[in-house]
Amino acid sequence: MRDLTEEEILAANTPPRTPMSDALSAEIRAEACATLPKGVEWDTFALILACHALWLVAVFALPEVSLTGAIVLSTLMVALHSSLCHEVLHGHPFRSRLLNEVLVFLPLNLSVPYGRFRDTHLQHHQDENLTDPYDDPECNYQDPEVWARLPRWRQALLRVNNTLLGRMLLGPILGQISFMIADFRLARAGERGIARDWALHFAGCLLVLWIVALSPMPLWAFLLSAYAGLAVLKIRTYLEHRAHEDKHGRTAIVEGRGLLGMVLGFLFLNNNLHIVHHLYPGVPWHRLPMLYRRHKVQFQTRNDGYVLKSYASIFRQFAFRAKDPVPHPLWKSRK
């Protein structure tokens, strides 16, 4: 995958002209465009600073008081930082891409290079390819023919990974391995920018580990919090897309009711309202709930009722049960 140009990144974050009925589409699009930032988003900038500050509190101050508390706070900040990286790649809080990316240079979760996350995620925003096992970089479905050829142990592993608890426990390491293998193959095929992004990532990881080494937090405790932060993120990504004939019917809404929903909604920066984000990707995180509330029925109609009321209900339904099969249920062979 090649590097994206500034124009392509701008296009990926511009509200589309094609949802819902024409009249309603124009109304919502006009409202979404009105929420697009015209200048610096100081609230998002302040949140980025606060996230880093609280992470430093977690690694330097809290271990002397409560190592468990330090791990919990670090976990929450790792999850929030990852959501802020998502906000940055969509053009927030400054109009300068370089300045935005400097703000999230430290890879607190130690996993995927920011540059690779940016490029693969913007490719994921080509909604016509959502859940495509080949063209959607964030797809968890398998081509049924590929699935049929997998050894039984690997099929069993992927079935466990398709439960919510399995996704939280196994998903971070399985996703990391898969991502690294894919990037290695792309780099060997001559794709530009991949080696650079990984080099910057390794430099950032060394800096994060050096900071932790200076702190009273044990390295194992920080690594546990980094993994746990990724596990928290897997709660959101577990069901944000499904197989569906209509491209907009593939993207979920989780309304985030209750205390758990409020906490996770904040950590995910309201990306649980995922159809709103996919239709209007440039809208900043703090404007998504208002846009959803004002046009709730229309958004639920647009995604064909793919609505989940709370994260608590999701845990009750899918903690030990798969939401989807691993092989794509609607996949048509490319042959």
Tell me which H or E stretch contains 126: none
Phi, psi (rounded to 5 degrees) for 254: -115, 115
Distance from the Cα of residue 295 to its chain's centroid: 24
Torsions phi, psi of 176, nearest 5?
A: -65, -45
**pLDDT of res. 314:** 96
pLDDT at 3: 46
Q: Return d(Cα 236, Cα 296) in angstroms, integer.
A: 20
Residue with tokens 């974050």: 13
CA geometry: angle at 169 spanning 104 and 186, to 5°?
55
Q: Are 131 and 278 in contact (CB under 8 A)?
A: no
One DSSP character per residue, 38-95 reads SS--HHHHHHHHHHHHHHHIIIIIGGGT-HHHHHHHHHHHHHHHHHHHHHHHTT-SSS
Residue 251: helix, strand or coil by DSSP?
A: strand
What is the rounded CA–CA span in Å between residue 76 and residue 108?
11
Bridge-partner residues for 253, per DSSP?
307
Question: For residue 71, how far is the Cα from the chain centroid?
Answer: 22
At residue 36, the pLDDT reads 87
Amino acid, res. 242: R
How confident is the prediction along the chain (335 residues), in pLDDT tens digits per residue?
444 444 444 445 555 544 444 445 778 888 888 888 889 999 999 999 999 999 999 999 999 999 999 999 999 999 999 999 999 999 999 999 999 999 999 999 999 999 999 999 999 999 999 999 999 999 999 999 999 999 999 999 999 999 999 999 999 999 999 999 999 999 999 999 999 999 999 999 999 999 999 999 999 999 999 999 999 999 999 999 999 999 999 999 999 889 999 999 999 999 999 999 999 999 999 999 999 999 999 999 999 999 999 999 999 999 999 999 999 999 986 54
Tell me how far apart the alpha carbons of residues 48 and 42 are, in angstroms, rounded to a whole number.
Answer: 10
Listing DSSP states for 159-209 in one string gives: HHHTSHHHHHHHHHHHHHHHHHHHHHHHHHTT-TTHHHHHHHHHHHHHHHH
Gyration radius from the chain CA atoms: 20
Q: What is the pLDDT of residue 147?
A: 97
Q: d(Cα 32, Cα 51) in Å, to the nearest integer?
A: 27
Query: Are residues 69 and 52 in contact, defined by beta-carbon separation less than 8 angstroms?
Result: no
Judged on CB neighbours under 10 Å (0-12, 13-18, 19+), 68 is exposed
- The whole-number pLDDT of residue 237 equals 96
What letter does residue 57 receive in the DSSP assignment?
I
